[in-house]
Every structure is written in C-alpha cells, then in structure tokens.
Amino acid sequence: MDGYIALVLRQPGGGYRAVFPDVDGCRAEGRSVDEALANARSEIKAHAARTARNGGTMPPPRPASDVAVLSAKHGAVAGACIHVRPVSIQVRMDRLPKSARVP
C-alpha cells in the first residue's frame, strides 16, 4: 500500500528530524527516532487536514518500495511509509432569512 514517505535525519545538535520529500513544509522533530516518527504521523495528518480545509490537494503518495531508495539517497537513519485516510471537510450553510431569498 502506498503512503507518504517520512525520512528521519540525525540533527547536528542532537535529536532527529522527520521530513516528507513529497510534501513541502511538512516535518517533525523528536529526541529519538521513534519520537520523530510518531510526531511525523501526527504532522502529516494535520497537514492533510489543513490542505483540504484550504481547498488544496495532497500530492499523490509514492509506492512503499521507495522508502529504502530515498533513505539511502538522503542519508536517513530511518524511513517509514505513513498512510493518511482521505479527509472530508464539513461545511455549514445557514438558511437565508426569508427576506433575503430570491423568488
């Protein structure tokens, strides 16, 4: 199953940063690899919700088989494929007062 690839990189000052090569501006940090990945899962879901709320669409996810190739290319210490369920946004539409209705 395809998903958004998160790569975990070691930070020079300590800790780890998870980045999504296909999703600009979406990243997360943590003191450990596991914490960075957990935060990445939360962040990609929040990013997808913000994107949908603003009328945008997420880029198509890559095949999970690309995790190893991208990890090696970017020097990642870990990689994961994170799946995001489709996001639905509810829009509330109030009724117009009778005086504002068009006959």
pLDDT reported for residue 96 = 55
90 CB-near residues (< 8 Å, 6+ apart) = none
Q: What's the pTM value of the predicted model, to 2 decimals?
A: 0.76
pLDDT reported for residue 90 = 52
Rounded to an integer, what distance in angstroms lies between the CA atom of residue 30 and that of residue 20?
15
Give the three-class secondary structure for 25.
coil
pLDDT reported for residue 94 = 60
pLDDT per position in the chain (103 positions), as tens?
568 999 999 999 999 999 999 999 899 999 999 999 999 999 999 999 899 888 888 898 888 888 888 888 888 999 888 888 765 555 555 665 566 555 5
Rounded to an integer, what distance in angstroms lies between the CA atom of residue 62 and that of residue 90?
28
Contact between 90 and 52 under an 8 Å Cβ cutoff? The reply is no
pLDDT reported for residue 36 = 96
DSSP letter string over 66-85?
HHHHHHHHHT-SEEEEE--P
Give the three-class secondary structure for 48.
helix
